[in-house]
Amino acid sequence: MSTIVMSGCATGIGAATRKALEAAGHKIIGIDIRDAEVIADLSTAQGRKQAIADVLLQCSEGMDGAVLCAGLGVQVKPAGKVTSVNYFGAVELLDAFLPELQKGHRPAAVVISSVASAHLAWDRNPLAAAFEAGDEAQAAAIVEGAGDQGGNLAYAGSKNALTVAVRKRVETWGKAGVRLNTVAPGATDTPLLQAGLKDPLYGESIARFVPPLGRRAEPSEIAAVIAFLMSPAASYVHGAQFVIDGGIDALMRPTAF
C-alpha cells in the first residue's frame, strides 16, 4: 500500500479517482472544503498553507503520490476565485509536496488540467505573467476586469498555465525521480459541469460542446486514466498531457497537437 495525497476528492472526478485508487489498495489523504481528511480552502494563501502543514503532519509515514483535482468552473464568481483554486491551489501544493514525494515508493503525481488548457496559447495568455510571478492579486484583478468573459478567461487561462507549470517542472521532477503528468478531460458529468450548464451566460455554449463520441464522460472514465498514470504500468510516462475528451480536441484542432 502507498499513501496518496489528493485535493478535490469530495465530489466528481476526485471522488471517482479516490474510489479507484482505494480499490487498488492505496491509502488516501484527501484535502477539500468538506468530506476529507484535511479540511482547507485552497482559494486563499492561508488555506493552502494550512492544507500543506496538515498533510505533512498526516504523512508521517511518507508520501508516495499526489493527485490534484480541486477546481472551480467558468460560472464561479468572483472569477479571481477560479484562478486562485485552479492555478495556485495546485502549483503551491505540487511544489510543497516534492521533497516528500522524492522519498516515496515509486512516486508519481497527476494534475487535472482541462481541454480548455489548449483554448488559449501561452504566449497570448493574459494571465501568464501574473501566474509566473506568483501574483495572485494581479491574476484576480485581470479576470475580474474582463467583464462577461472573465469566467472563460479565468478558467482557460488558469488551466493553460497549469499545464505549462507542469511541463516546466519536467526536468526538476524527473531528476528527483517523481513522474508528473496532467490529464485534460473534456465535458464530464459532475457537479461542476451541471452548475456550468445552468449558468445563464455560459450554459448554452457548454451544452453545444458535443464530442464525436456523442456523450459526456462519466467521472469513472477520467479516474481510470488517472489510476493508470499513478500505477507502475505508466513507469516511463512523464511530462505528458493525456486528453480524455471523446475526441473534441481532435475535432476542433485537427492539425495542432
Active-site amino acid positions: 155
Q: Are 76 and 68 in contact (CB under 8 A)?
A: no
* The 108-112 sheet, strands edge to edge: 38-39, 27-32, 3-7, 65-68, 108-112, 179-185, 241-244
Taking CB under 6 A as the criterion, the residue among 3, 4, 6, 8 binding ligand NAI is 8
For 80-206, strand residue ranges (E) read 108-112, 179-185
Interaction of residue 71 with ligand NAI, rule CB under 6 A: yes
Per CB under 6 A, does 226 bind ligand NAI?
Answer: no
Grid cell digits, residue 194: 451541471
Q: What is the footprint of ligand NAI within residues 96-125 (CB under 6 A)?
A: 112, 114
Neighbours of 29 (CB within 10 A): 18
For ligand NAI, which is the closer residue by CB, 181 or 188? 188
Compute how many residues bind ligand NAI; rule: CB under 6 A: 25
The grid coordinates of residue 3 equal 499513501
CB neighbours of residue 89 within 10 Å: 28
Tell which one of 3, 38, 41, 227 touches ligand NAI (CB under 6 A). 41
Bridge partners, 108 (sequence order): 65, 179
Within 10 angstroms of residue 59's Cβ, the number of other Cβ atoms is 18
Told to check if 21 binds ligand NAI by CB under 6 A, we report: no
Nearer to ligand NAI (CB atom), residue 100 or residue 249 = 249
What span, in angstroms and rounded, lies between the C-alpha atoms of 58 and 37?
A: 9
CB of 97 to ligand NAI, least distance (A): 15
The answer to the question of residue 42 lying near ligand NAI (CB under 6 A) is yes
Q: At what angle do helices 219-230 and 12-23 cross, to 10 degrees?
A: 50
Residue 41 or 100 having the CB closest to ligand NAI:
41
- Binding window for ligand NAI (CB under 6 A); candidates: 36-44, 57-65, 131-139, 168-176: 36-44
Interactions with ligand NAI, residue window 123-182 (CB under 6 A): none
Smallest gap from Cβ 242 to ligand NAI, in A, equals: 12
Residues that bind ligand NAI (CB under 6 A): 8, 10-14, 32-33, 41-43, 69-72, 85, 112, 114, 185, 187-188, 190-193
